[in-house]
Amino acid sequence: MSGDRTMDKIIAAFAEAVAAGELEKAEGWLAVASFAQERTLGADRPAR
């Protein structure tokens, strides 16, 4: 599933930012992860 690969890339970028001490960048990756997960979960919900 491509969504799994996308989340893996986001997690890797987040981990790299944390390891480098770039906390603002890490915070941005958390926001991206949250958005991506919401879109993925929303795709699984039936339309109203």
Q: Which of 36, 38, 31 is nearest to 8 (CA)?
A: 36
Residue 35 lies in a domain: yes
- 7 band by pLDDT with thresholds 50, 70 and 90: very high
Residue 21 lies in a domain: yes
Q: How many domains are contained in the chain?
A: 1
Residue 47 lies in a domain: no
The structure's pTM equals: 0.75
Domain that holds residue 30: 2-41
- Residues whose CB is less than 8 angstroms from the CB of residue 7 and which lie 6 or more positions away in sequence, other chains included: 33, 36, 37, 40
* Across 13-23, average pLDDT: 98
pLDDT at 4 > cutoff 70? yes
Residue 31 lies in a domain: yes
- Supply the pLDDT for residue 41: 80
Q: Which of 39, 41, 37, 13 is nearest to 27 (CA)?
A: 13
Q: What is the mean pLDDT of the chain?
A: 88
